[in-house]
Structures are given as structure tokens and as C-alpha cells.
Amino acid sequence: MTQELLVIDFGAGKVLRVNPLTGASSLFTSIGASAGLNALAFDSAGKVYISDSFQGIIWRTDPAGGAATAWVTSALLTTTGVPPFGANGLAFNHNESALFVANTGNDSVVEIPFNQGTPGTPAVFAYSINGADGLILDEDDNVWVAANQADELVVLDRSGKVIAKLGDFNGIDRKGAAIGLLTPASLVFSGDFVYVTNLALDLRLFGFPGIDSQWAAQVTRYTVSKLRKRIPPIHEHDDD
């Protein structure tokens, strides 16, 4: 691993190499403005995987950057839904047998088999995650997905069964910040907590009247929410 900081320039279709001390940047890879570059993942060899929300492609580069190749192209990574983003958050499981990709507009998570860098055939791992955005896997390979249209995190086990739903939206505070989750996007683990960015996206920008649009329009301070990394037990009850 190079330990470099890579930052996506969504509008320009580029990934930049950024010096975390000075802020100076240089080009890591460029795919073009027609792309909707959205999220990054890394395999154990240091290769970089980049989701393209507009073209339904997972791009790949060498650890040093340079020209990107279309590693996987699939209709399962495109969308005609709302929000109008296909392939979004992506992450490998721990033994690198699969890459998981959120499809925001299709409310799905797609699983791509992975064999030492060679992709298998993509298949839907789970449906009905309302606005599946960023995702991350925990130490048990549970898949944590930010459901940006439901203002919550959805946790799936390795079979694709939901085992938890965490977080909620509780209004806007006096400083213009969301209380709880409002269009949660990316997420990361740190110790006993999961940190979640609040995108607070007003879908009216895309011509769609989202149920959170009027709340999002009130946001003037953008925040990161902190939730405890805990999966509450789900109890099964007998009818007898």
C-alpha cells in the first residue's frame, strides 16, 4: 500500500492524489466528465477500484495510478431510478472473494465474485434498501449500508438478511444542522463507533420531490453523525 490520500473530483471525472499535510494535489487517474465517479476500494495488492454511477462501470488502476481500465461493466450497476446514481459505495469482504457494490437508484447491493483480481458475474445480493449509498463490511463480513432515502443504516448478514436498522432523522437544530441522519452517504468504522456523513441532498435539484427535500433545504451546516457500532439482538417469538 502507498498510504497516499486519494480524493475523487466528481464533476471532472478524476481521482486526485492529495498531500494531507499541504493540500497540494496531482492527477492520479482521469476517466472523463461523462463519468460519475463516486467511491473507492482497494484490494490487498493495492489496486484501486472506482465506482462509476453514470456508466455502470467499476474502473481499476494500478497502485501508482495512471490509465484506468473498465474492470466490470454491468446493467446491474446502472439505474433509471431515483436518485439517478447507479454504482456507488463499494467494499471487499475480508477474504477478498467478493466485491460488494451499492446501487443507489435500484435500492440494491450487487455482489461481484473476486478471484485474485479476476471478476465473476455480478448478481444482486439484496434489494429494497431505500437509496443504498455508501457501504462497509465489519469483522464478521456483515454489510453496513447507508440507506440515504430512509435516513438510516441497514445491516445485512452474509446471507443478505437484514439484522439491524440503525439511526433516524429528528429534525434540524438552531444552527442549521441535521439531528440524526439526513440522507446518509459514506460511512467508516473507528473503534466502537461508525461515523456517517450527512449529505442532506435536496432531490428537487434533480427534478424529484423527495420526502426530505424541504428539510434538506434548511440545512446550512453539514455534519458527520456518530453511532455506536452495535447490532441489537433480534428476538424470535413463538405464537404459542
Residues 188-218 have pLDDT tens digits of 999 999 999 999 999 998 899 989 999 999 9
Q: Is the peptide bond before 63 cis (omega within 30 degrees of 0)?
A: no
* Architecture of the domain made up of 5-171: 6 Propeller (2.120)
Spacing of C-alpha 205 from chain mean position: 20
CB 56 within 8 A of CB 75: yes
Predicted local confidence at residue 240, as pLDDT: 54
Task: Give me 149's grid cell.
Answer: 432515502
Q: Which residues of the chain fall below pLDDT 70?
A: 1-2, 235-240
Amino acid 15: pLDDT: 98
What are the residue ranges spanned by the domains of the chain?
5-171
pLDDT tens figures, 44-73 = 999 999 999 999 999 999 999 999 999 999
| Cβ-contact 176, 221 below 8 angstroms | yes
pLDDT of residue 106: 98
Q: What is the pTM of this model?
A: 0.94
